[in-house]
Structures are given as structure tokens and as C-alpha cells.
Chains A and B, each alone.
Chain A
Amino acid sequence: MEGETEERDYKVLVVGEGGCGKTSYINQYVNHIFSKAYKATVGVDFALKQVQWENTRVRLALWDIAGQERFNHMTRVYYKGAHGAMVVFDVTKDKTFQAVPRWKKDIDSNLDNIPTVLVANKCDLLDNPLDTETMEKFCAQHGFIGWYETSAKENIRVEDCGTFLLEHLVKRDRELNPGKYTNTEKTVSLTQASDPRLAAKTCNNSC
């Protein structure tokens, strides 16, 4: 088994309006921390998350566009070569939800139908959960593969959401490149192999 280990790199975009918690979400997903890190690592534009999936070692590069959303035409340069995307919005701010279709359209006009998941972040601040029917309708209408109500702060469904996207990424990869995968079992079993050091690997401190 060990000799056959394959490696896969996926670039995943995390987009959304400013202030809806993209950075926190990535921090929670990759490092399992919500603002606990006291060692500042400035200059990381993407965080790496390593996931063992069957006999494949998958490396997810999560591209954080924090702050870049103000430069709206800028983000397109980031889109290049992405395999998947997450569109994040803040459930407490309607404005960020209103912007979701625009972000999705942006992705679609630059990339060829990549799996995109809708992330309803900050659900810990919400008294009542979102209406499932409306959300599913919304997803179908805008071409999202699914949606997740998450909280980066309380670590609610952050992992699930990532797994869900990964599943689709791998599925799509197989469709596009048949034969690369020897094992075609449908079962997904993820083993956590996150290494926080990897996140800091690309750190390029300006000091």
C-alpha cells in the first residue's frame, strides 16, 4: 500500500464579502484553532491542509482572499487553476448573502464549472437555523453542490464541509482523468493528517 501512495494537490478558493470570516474559517479548518495562535505568521496567502484519502495523500491549498475582495477585479487573477471553491457568507449580515450570486458568477465566468460549496458562516450567532428548503432551492438555482451551516468560532461542521467538497473534488478529478486512480471505491474515509507546520511553510515574514 505504502509504495503506491499517490499525491494530489488541489487549489481551493475561499471567497466572499469582507468580514464574513474567511480567514477564521480557514484557520479553524487547517489549524483547528480560532484565534488561538499567538505566533503571528504574516504573509501566508494559502494554507495547506493534508488529508489522507484511501491511498492518496491529498493536499488542499486553501486560498484566502482576505482583504482582496475590495479589489474586485483582482480576485480573478487568483482564480487561475483552481479546482474547487467555497463561497462564504455571514448569516447575520444579509448583505453578504446578497453578494453570493455575484461571487458564484465570478467563479463561473473564469473557471470551468468547478465544484463550489456555499458556506453559511457564524451560525453560532443565529437563533433559528436557516430554512433548508429555501437554501437548497438557492443552491440548485446558482449551481452550488451543497451548502453548510458552519461556525468557525465553535468549530461546527467546518470539517464536514471540507470533506464534502473534497469528495466532489476527487470525483471530478476521476471523471476528468480516468485511469489515474487505481482504487475506484466510492467509500470515503478520511484520516486526519493535518500538519500545522505546513501552514507556515510558505510564510514569508516581512520582518
Chain B
Amino acid sequence: MDEGIDLPSEGDHGQMILVDLSKLSRAAAQKKEKSKSAKNPFKALNSFGKARSSGNLTADAAASPKKENRSKSVVIGTRRRGAISIQPPEIDTTAMYHKFEKMFEKTRQEKEDKAKRGPIGLLSTRSRVGTAPVQQKSGLHGPSYHGNVLGLSKMTIHSKREKPPGEQPSQKTLRRCRSLSSIWRNTWDIQPYTFDEDKWKNRWKRAISDADLFEPEMNIMDAKNTIQLDQVVSQPIPNAASKVLDTKLVYEQVGDRIVLTGGTIERLIDKLVWDERIDLVYVQDFLYCFPTFIKSRELMDKMEDFLQDAKKNITMATTPEKKTTAVSQMLRIVNVLHRWIQIAPSDFNEDLNLRKRLIQMIDGTINDNVERTWVDLLRCALQKRCSDGLFAMSTWQTSPILIEAAILRPGQIDWKSEYKKGMRYYYTEGSNIVDWVMSNVTRDVGTSRQDITKWIHTTFYRPKHLLDVDRKSDFKLRGSAENLTFEDGESSYRFRIVPLIRPQLPPRPKKVSDAVFLLSDPKEIAKQMTLISEELFYPITGRLLVTQTWSDKGSDTCQSVKEFTDRFNDVAMWVATEIVASGNMSQRREIISRFIEVAASLHKMRNFSDFIAVMAGLNHWCVSRLKKTWEGVSSKSKKDLNALEGHSPAYTKVLRNDHNGAEAPAIPYLGLLVGDLIRLNEVPALLPSGYINFGKGRIQATMLRQIDGYKEKQYNYKPSANMLAWLRRLIIIPEKGMATLSMQWESASS
């Protein structure tokens, strides 16, 4: 389809195209009538439309206010028009359709042949997932697996146009790439010193629709398969347990349940795969907590061994039943890997060797022995989860993006040492990176521009780099680059991209302009605060917390946790500052009652972090000592405050209940979780018998699952640029100054 339709016109590229959905679907319906059997290219379009209108995509950020418009027209991304090309309505669709027909006829023939051969497998789920099994190697991407993995998003489309691996892209493709490049440049061109909210909103919308284009099909497929895989895997295998008869596991009765509390490492790992009946909750718990007692590398070793065993069993199987059992066992391994990717994608992002091994397993043994659906499932999960950029994109709602990077290309040299010697930077803006990658490292990332752009997206779109980015000149390169590496064994290229550090914030305003706070709606303030906190909470994952050492290097904990706590402390100080900075008593009273309103809203929004920060600010001694001011605060506000105090950490039980009962989206008060994790760390990792203390692991897993659960949904408040700018740079008077002011307003004697 990439080559199918020419782009409308070069001039349009920077613009969004509004396509009347009703027209499109009507056109599609007409075509369908003409040839029902043909899997025409509109299928993709339809599914895309469906996915958008049903709103099940995470990126559907600005959903609520735009709903009415959406029913009529849909904003469709410009940049990736290649993936799902939208023809302007005036084009003769019939002629277009015949063109497609011809073009895909050959490919379809090939696919049917493949389907006849069929993959090896025991479960006939293919019919449910769709009659078009995903092409394992979409030709355009060449032999490297990255191409495949990255190319999956377009599988419904690309599978229809097979090309021998390694073939150069046609002239047409190149032309398209060039035009896309200009779109891309237009889209991300930055106006450094002006901030046009509407413009950014539009860009954001485009980014959103691009995110949709990445994987509309996949979301659906993944969801379907997860359920099925669970069902399949939890089927008992009668003689599976025979492999491990020694029960080196300890169970204990807790309440009316019997739970696993310990075992040897080997047995615990065996339990993931070899039990007669698989306990899916156990699998999840294990994958959450295993870093406390085993390295991910070692677990991967084990999984490889298991895979070899399962493979042997399959080849040795004499009867169909035996083969079924053997394949089921392999499916259990697939299940464990799938869960692993879902729970801790960072494992595979940080350890590229691990990722490579995983992909080798998927492409090798698993691909040869298991139904293709499951293989695709793994690949989809890997692509989706291990590119946190996509998630970040949908989380990111408030900041403009600037892509800039430095690329090192030391060939096969150990670049660490090379870096010290002073490497040459290829300092370039985002769109040029695409060009650079296109001309230099094509085989690594995939051949199409889309792949490359996407890869850059996934590498860069992290909210924490984007905060407060509005002055281009402030950018500096970070001395020790964050390890955003990308590397492939097949290729001789290695390079890394150095992310930009956050520019230094402008100095905080020295004077508190008391009007700003009182002029703003408390609810709106709460919403914008929530958006900021959400951004900061996003990178704090369960896996990040379990690998933290909380004890000695308390202050050196990872950046994201530190940023989050710093924000908390800033908010608390800001609340106190706002109150104390006002010299007028009645104004102070008003500010206090407004903050109580803010706190109430925050609590309602389940933003516990900011809620408690505001409460802490109200409880600051410089504020609480202002007895006269408090006396005059309206009784309604005081009543509200009393009710809210019941939810503050002084009443931990209530606070815990709030946290446990909170539905996503929510932002927890991290202090509570960290405190629990520290106390849990006091519990030894081994039982007196020398077994692994899995009881501890289970509790850990429960807590971490909760943290990840809060992120399942996102807040979809409308960002307001002005307010965000104000709330990001909170004005804070240091404690000494506040004490002086507080004394000034109400002296100690009175």
C-alpha cells in the first residue's frame, strides 16, 4: 500500500487532513460490494476508523471535549499517511481499487500457498484470530529481526506486498521517504521562543494519531490472544509433573488459603512451567519479584533450557497426544515470556543481550514449533511494551517535543573508551536523524522511513526529558549519556543517541504575585497539578522500585523517584509560601480555604501524592501558628479540612484503604509505598531452611502490581499551557524567610 497511492500533494504535508469519515466508509462500503471476497486495502482503513471511534486506544487523550466533532470527521495523521493512505475523496476510487486489486493479487496467491502449508501447532485458533496470519517476515524489512519487530505494526498491510529480503526500496518508495521527511521536518519544527498553544495542540493531536497508526490492529489482536493463551496454558497436563517429583516447596495456611511461602530457586522456576496445573497468579508474582533472588540473565538461561527440553519432547513424540502435551509445555514457556515482557519491559530495554536472546528464541525454536499466533503474540508484546516511548507519548499531554540528538558511530570500537578520547558528535535535529539513519544504519532499524521514525520515537519520547523544554538555546549535551543504545548482532553499526538534559530552569520569581492563585479555579489547579504529577509518576514502575536499594544510598536513588519526591516537597513548600506570603489577613484566609478546596479536588481525583503535599503545606508550622488567621477561616472550610485530615498519613489505615481501593488512574503517595518496601526489605530473603522466602516475594509482587495498576488509565484533563508553566515553576520562599514573614503577621506574643 505504500506504493499504492501517491500522496495528495507536497504542499499539504504539514497540514492535517480532515477526512470525512462518513464519506470514507461509504466509499469503502461501495468497494466492498464490488468484491466481497477480496481483502482490499480498505480493510485497514475500516479497522482504523473502528479503533478510533470505539476509543479503545490509549492515546485517545483529548477524547471528551472532541467527541462530538469526532463522529463527523476524524483527524488523521499526516506523517504516516504511508501506512494507511487516505485518498482525498475526489480521486476516482474505483480506478484506485482496481489498481490495488492487481497489485495484491500476486501477494495473495503467495500467502494462500503459505497458509496451505500451515504452521505447526496443535490449537486451531487461527480461525479466530483472523484468516490472515501475520507474515513472519515482511519482506521489505530485510532479514534483520529488528525490521520484523518494528514492522509488525503494519502487518496487515505489509504482509500483502512481499519483496525478497534485502531488495532495495524502489524509486517510488524513496520519493515517498523524501516527502515524508519534509512532513516530518515540518511537523517537528520548533519555534523556540514562542509558545503557541494551539499549534502544539495540533502537533500533539498528530502525534496521537501517529501512535494510533502504529498499531491499531495489534491492540485488538493482543488482547484477544492474552485471554486465549491464559486459557490454554492453565489447562492441566496430566504427566507434566513427573519431571519434578521432589517437592522442594513450602506451603503454609494463611486464613482459608494455602499459599506457597518458599522453595529452592530451581523448584520455583520449574513451577513456572512444569507443574501439572499452572498457577497464573504465581507466574505473575514470580516475575514481579524475581530480581530479589535471581538475575534476569539466569532466568533466561533456565528458560532456554526449558525450551530445549520442550523441543526435544516435541521431536521425540510418537503419538499425537504426546505431541499435544509437548507443545502445550512449550506454550507455557511462551506464556512465561509473554508475561515477563508485559511485567518488566525494562529488563529487555536495558539489557540488550537479554533482548537479543529473547528474539533468537522467538525466531528460532518457538517459531518452528508453535502456532504462529503465539509467536506473533510474543513479538507484538515485545514491540509494544519494550518501546516505552509509545506509552510515554500517550502519557505526555502537556509538553512540546523537541527532538535533538547526538549520534556516535564508532563502528566496532568499544565506545566507552572512545567516548573519553572525545568522540565526534553528529549533532542534528530530529528529522536529520532520520536521514542519517537512512543513509548509514538502514539495516539495523528497518528499511522504511516509518520504522526509523518510529524507532526514534520510541527512543526519545520520554516525558522526563521533555519537561520545561521551551528554550532551545538552553540545551546542552549530557556528559555521560544515558544508555539509550541500539545494537544488533548482525550489523556492524553501533551508535547511541545522547538525550538532552533538561535545561536549567529560569530563576524562580522572587516576588509572589498573590493574584495568580486567587484568580484561578481550585479545581483547575488540581487538574493541572495532576497532569504534572502524572508525568513524573509515569517512569516509576514496579520493576524500578523492586531493584532499588532503599537503605544506604537514600539520596542517590534513581532520578525519577527523586524527581517525584522533589516535586512533592516543592508543592508542600509552595502551599505554605502562598499563604505566608500574603500580608493581608482576610486574603490569607481566602487562600487557605482555596487550598482546602484544591486538596479536596486532588483527593477526589485520587492524586494522593499532591493531596498529601497540600495537606503537609497546610500543616506547615509557619502556617499552623497563625492562630488568628485560622480563627477567621470559614467554618465550612474548617469542616472540610477536618474531613480531609482523616485521610492524611496520621491515619494510615484510612490512607491505605484509599490507596487500595483506588481505581486507575491514580497517583499514589510514594512515601507510603517506599515505607512498606523498606520494612519489607528488613525481611530476610531466605527462610531458616535456606529456601527462598517466597512469602515476601508475593507481598512485594502485590504492592508492585498495584503501582503498575494505577497507570492502566490516564487522566484526560485538558492541559492549559499558562497554568502548567506557572505550576511547574512553583514559587517557594525558603523556610527562614517564611518564619520571618509568619512572625511579622502574627507575633509570638499575640
Name A residues whose Cβ lies closer than 8 Å to a Cβ of B: 17-19, 23-24, 27, 35-45, 64-74, 76-78, 80, 93, 109-110, 202, 204-207
Contact = CB atoms under 8 A, between A and B. Distances in A.
A19 B550 contact: yes
A108 to B, nearest CB: 10
A74 B671 contact: yes
Given A40-B695, A70-B554, A71-B565, A23 B702 contact: no
Given A39-B695, A71-B568, A18 B656 contact: no
B603 interface: no
Given A38-B684, A67-B675, A207-B698, A74 B554 contact: no
A72 to B, nearest CB: 6
26 contacts: A18-B555, A35-B684, A36-B684, A37-B683, A38-B684, A38-B688, A38-B693, A38-B696, A39-B695, A43-B656, A45-B675, A66-B674, A66-B678, A67-B676, A69-B554, A71-B572, A71-B671, A73-B576, A73-B617, A74-B616, A77-B650, A109-B621, A204-B657, A206-B656, A206-B702, A207-B702
A23 B679 contact: yes
Contacts of A40: 680, 683, 695-696, 699
Sorted from nearest, which 4 A-B pairs have the closest CB atoms? A18-B554, A67-B674, A67-B675, A73-B572
Interface centre among B555, B659, B688, B706 (most CB of A within 10 A): B555
Residue of B554, B656, B679 with highest tally of chain A CB at under 10 A: B679
A110 B674 CA distance: 24
A18 B696 CA distance: 22
A197 to B, nearest CB: 16
A17 B703 CA distance: 24
Interface of B: 550-555, 565, 568-569, 572-573, 576, 612-613, 615-617, 619-621, 648-650, 652-653, 656-657, 659-660, 670-671, 673-680, 682-684, 687-688, 693, 695-696, 698-699, 702-703, 706
A205 B555 contact: no
Nearest to A22: B678
Contact of A17 (B554, B573, B671): B554
Contacts of B702: 206-207
Contacts of B688: 38
Given A64-B675, A68-B671, A71-B612, 10 more contacts: A23-B682, A38-B684, A38-B688, A66-B674, A66-B678, A67-B674, A68-B675, A76-B616, A206-B676, A206-B706
Contacts of B706: 206
A66 to B, nearest CB: 4
Chain A interface SS verdict (over half): loop
Contacts of A18: 550-551, 554-555
Contacts of A93: 552
Contact of A42 (B621, B659, B679): B679
A19 B554 contact: yes
B619 A67 contact: no
Contact of B703 (A19, A65, A72, A206): A206
A27 B682 contact: yes
A66 B684 contact: no
B682 A74 contact: no
A66 B675 contact: yes
Given A42-B703, A73-B569, A202 B674 contact: no
B621 A74 contact: no
A92 to B, nearest CB: 10
A17 B576 CA distance: 23
A36 B653 CA distance: 26
A17 B699 CA distance: 26
**Which one of B573, B617, B650 has the greatest number of beta carbons of chain A within 10 Å?**
B650
A43 B682 contact: no
Given A19-B554, A23-B678, A70 B671 contact: yes
A69 B542 CA distance: 21
A202 B660 CA distance: 16
